[in-house]
Amino acid sequence: MEPCLHQLELNKDSFAAATSTWDAGDNISVTKEELCRDVYSFGEIMLEILSRGRLTNSGASMHSQSREVVLREIYNENEAGSNISLQEEIKLVVEVAMLCTRSRPSDRPSMESALKLLSESKIQMKNNPTFEAEGEGLPPHGTTRVEPPASPPCR
């Protein structure tokens, strides 16, 4: 069994310093609580990468800000400019990250659902550079809402 994401500390001087004494030899079962923390941590990691480390505790701060303001800041930091394809890709990753960092664990998708949303979007973007996503659980072009595919959420 591998270490869990929530066992890593990302917002310190050493970007990914392990904070656990987890031992691979231990037969520790992963609890739903740990899985939910992993999903939240995954969302945090995505937001930190997109914001180049600027958004610390980003899940909480993102939910309190206007989505358009946050997206504009991230577009600027990633030099998305007028690149519509890049903006759509960033927007989708932000939406998945927002799902993963919802305050109530029961409202978060499973890790499998989050990864499925991201991988489907990558395939969709490769096949269609203008990213006019329809069906496949992806938002239509120009929308900002993404809902996770049906799967057991964190409860």
Q: What confidence score (pLDDT) does residue 93 get?
A: 92
The yes-or-no verdict on residue 99 having pLDDT over 60 is: yes
Is residue 138 classed exposed, middle or buried when 0-12, 13-18 and 19+ CB atoms within 10 A define those classes? buried
- Region 130-145: mean pLDDT is 41
Taking only the tens place, the pLDDT of each residue in 31-40 is: 767 777 889 9
d(CA 62, CA 101): 9
Lowest mean pLDDT among 9-13, 100-104, 146-150: 9-13
Taking only the tens place, the pLDDT of each residue in 108-117 is: 999 999 999 9
d(CA 60, CA 34): 19
Over the chain, what is the mean pLDDT? 70
- Region 99-108: mean pLDDT is 90
The yes-or-no verdict on residue 142 having pLDDT over 50 is: no
Q: What confidence score (pLDDT) does residue 109 get?
A: 93
Q: What confidence score (pLDDT) does residue 66 get?
A: 81
